[in-house]
């Protein structure tokens, strides 16, 4: 049974009522799960309500306290999420003698085996670097051939605010976190950089060229803009 306690600010606070044969008198328990009133089996409802009302200040204070902890825990949980090929994965870090990573599509989890758990962010970064490197090595040559746009060489770099860049020497740089994006979005980034070999700026001429190779480029561009903060380009 749940008793809704009206608060001064218009909100209500739910107090779960649980009877216990061992309870000799009314008592309140506050925890991460919420506030619970433990009552003897033959409790009097009016008495219970009166008791809860008299403890309103305490209930308010402790539930605020646990509420903050819950929020923090939720925040930590969200930090254990990463994107890989456009999909959200939960990740786990386990201590092991050898470094490895296992991706489970079914369970939606990636497990990182690391020697030093304190350096897990570094390991995740290196994992992204390998994934991105493989994808670019696979996709860039055929796309370049197909478009007839030839680059010099490419590299995978840690870049804080850019997904990719193109130099005057026709060298292409890709952000190591690019593997977080869906395949079509990665292809768009490749097309975008190859198009810079013809038009260096972001003029209408440039976007028209991109559109001929990727008619859906607007939605791909939007995906990157929307996800840049959650993928945490600034974090890793
Ligand atoms: Zn550009």
Q: State how beta strands 109-114 and 87-95 pair.
A: parallel
- CA–CA dist 200, 166 (Å, integer): 8
Q: How far is the CA of 203 from the centre of ligand 1 (A)?
A: 10
Give me the architecture of the 126-231 domain, per CATH. Answer: 2-Layer Sandwich (3.30)
- Burial of 60 from C-beta contacts in 10 A (0-12 / 13-18 / 19+): middle
Q: How far is the CA of 152 from the centre of ligand 1 (A)?
A: 17
- CA–CA dist 62, 80 (Å, integer): 28
Q: How far is the CA of 232 from the centre of ligand 1 (A)?
A: 20
| pLDDT digit string (tens) for the chain, length 236 residues | 888 877 777 777 788 888 888 888 889 988 877 888 999 988 888 988 888 888 888 888 888 887 777 666 554 445 688 999 999 999 999 999 988 999 998 889 999 999 998 888 899 999 999 999 999 999 999 999 999 999 999 999 998 778 999 999 999 999 999 999 999 999 999 999 999 999 999 999 999 999 999 999 999 999 998 888 777 644 43
Q: How far is the CA of 29 from the centre of ligand 1 (A)?
A: 58
Q: How far is the CA of 195 from the centre of ligand 1 (A)?
A: 8
Q: Where in the chain is CATH 3.30.2010.10?
A: 126-231
For helices 45-54 and 56-79, the axis angle rounded to 10 degrees is 70
Q: Which pair of tokens denotes residue 103? A: 């991706």
Q: How far is the CA of 12 from the centre of ligand 1 (A)?
A: 52
Q: How far is the CA of 201 from the centre of ligand 1 (A)?
A: 7
Q: How far is the CA of 236 from the centre of ligand 1 (A)?
A: 22
Beta strand ranges found along 96-217 (DSSP E): 100-104, 109-114, 154-157, 164-166, 172-175
| Residue 229 contacts residue 182 (beta carbons within 8 Å) | no
Model-level pTM?
A: 0.66
């Amino acid at each position: 049974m749940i008793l809704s306690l009206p608060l001064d600010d218009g909100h209500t606070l739910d107090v779960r009522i649980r009877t216990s044969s061992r309870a000799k008198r009314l008592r309140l328990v506050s925890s991460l799960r919420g506030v619970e009133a433990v009552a003897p089996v033959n409790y009097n409802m009016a008495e219970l309500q009166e008791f809860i009302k008299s403890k309103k200040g305490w209930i308010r204070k402790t539930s605020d306290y646990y509420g903050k902890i819950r929020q923090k825990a939720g925040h930590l949980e969200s930090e254990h999420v990463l994107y890989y090929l456009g999909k959200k994965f939960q990740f786990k870090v386990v201590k092991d003698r050898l470094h490895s990573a296992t991706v489970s599509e079914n369970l939606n989890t990636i497990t990182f085996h690391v020697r030093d758990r304190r350096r897990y962010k570094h390991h995740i970064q290196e994992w992204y670097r390998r994934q991105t490197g493989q994808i670019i090595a696979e996709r860039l040559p055929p796309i370049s051939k197909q478009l007839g746009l030839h680059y010099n060489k490419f590299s995978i770099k840690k870049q804080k605010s850019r997904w990719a860049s193109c130099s005057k020497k026709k060298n292409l740089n890709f952000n190591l976190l690019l593997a977080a994006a869906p395949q079509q979005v990665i292809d768009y980034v490749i097309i975008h950089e190859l198009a810079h070999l013809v038009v260096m700026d972001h003029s209408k001429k440039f976007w028209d060229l991109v559109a001929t190779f990727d008619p859906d480029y607007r939605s791909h561009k939007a995906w990157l803009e929307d996800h840049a903060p959650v993928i945490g380009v600034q974090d890793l």
